[in-house]
Amino acid sequence: MKQLTLEQQQRFSSAIKHGFITKDVPTDTHTFVWAWIRKHPNRVTTLVRLRNILGHAPQWEDLTDDVISDLKDDMEFQLAPNSVRTICAELKAVLNRNRATKPIKSETFGNLLKAKKVPVQNIYLTQHELQKIYDYKPKSERERYVKNIALIEAITGARNIDCRRMTLANIQKYGENEEVLTYVPQKHPVEVVVPVHKWLKSLLANDYADNIKSIRISYFCKILKFICFQCGIRKKVVVFHGGKSITDEKWKFIGSHTMRRSFVTNLSLAGVSIEDISQMAGHTNAGRPNIEMSYRYVCQSRGLNKGIFSLFK
């Protein structure tokens, strides 16, 4: 039987690991499992929760009001409120997209999957801290891979899943003397163009074994935390998560998405316009920069430009 491509096996590695699919090309890709993992390959835990509730892999007809309520209750017990809100929105979008053609039994999932947004305070890595990571000497192949991919995230603003697919072939000439990185994100298929950072070519030139490249995002973040600890990124910080303030060493709060927030925040602090940042981060809506989304990634205000004060004199 024909198997999924290596790239597909890497993308759906979590679903394969948890037994929702195999490495074989499926005979039916219109199941709920496939509809979900095609859109959210890194959200397999949601399928695991549903399987635990049902006793088997979820099908379209299993999605009743009771099952969706149980899923939301389970998530609210174990996850931060904003994580619940995000997953509920993702599930609602998948159900809305398929409600006309699939036997979805829940008639009120739109209301059931409503969740409140709560304030959250995130962190970012400064240019000095990113330099520490760049200078870090990895002690294993996994560390080398995590370090390089994380830095690519921080200097391109691309998501982890897109950084893993990038090569030197993504770099193109721009005008007479400049170079840019161009790619199409998996989440939103609109071309993104970012100027080439001085570190980028050396980071993209690396090669890794297949088992290294397929490392799960949870393990990726665990290694990234260890690297940040080794780099001395240990100052005490205060973050606001799940409705409460938490004080701890900075490395403990760092994950893959911290690098993307660092890209946006550092550009904002350098005075780059939020419209340009939105385009480089792939934050678009109907072909226009989604500046509201980009503002949510800015972790530190740059304050008033000194030149503004001269306008008031």
Mean pLDDT of the region 234-263: 88
Q: pTM for this one? A: 0.68
Query: What is the DSSP secondary structure assignment for residue 121, as one 8-state letter?
Result: B
| Bridge-based pairing state of the strands 178-183 and 171-174 | antiparallel
Q: Which amino acid is at 35?
A: A
Tokens of 123: 């962190």
Please enumerate in sequence order all residues whose Cβ is within 8 A of that of 277, keeping only pairs 6 or more positions apart, or say none. 157, 264, 267, 268, 283, 294
- Banded pLDDT at 243 (limits 50, 70, 90): low
pLDDT of residue 40 exceeding 70: yes
Average pLDDT taken over every residue of the chain: 90
Tokens of 144: 């080398």
91-97: long-range contacts, CB 8 A cutoff, minimum separation 24 = 91/46, 93/39, 94/35, 94/36, 94/39, 95/63, 97/35
User: pLDDT tens-digit profile of 89-117?
Assistant: 999 999 999 999 999 999 899 999 998 77
Helical pair 81-98 and 32-39, crossing angle rounded to 10 deg: 120
Q: What whole-number distance in Å separates Cα of residue 100 and Cα of residue 35?
A: 14
Q: What whole-number distance in Å separates Cα of residue 210 and Cα of residue 140?
A: 15
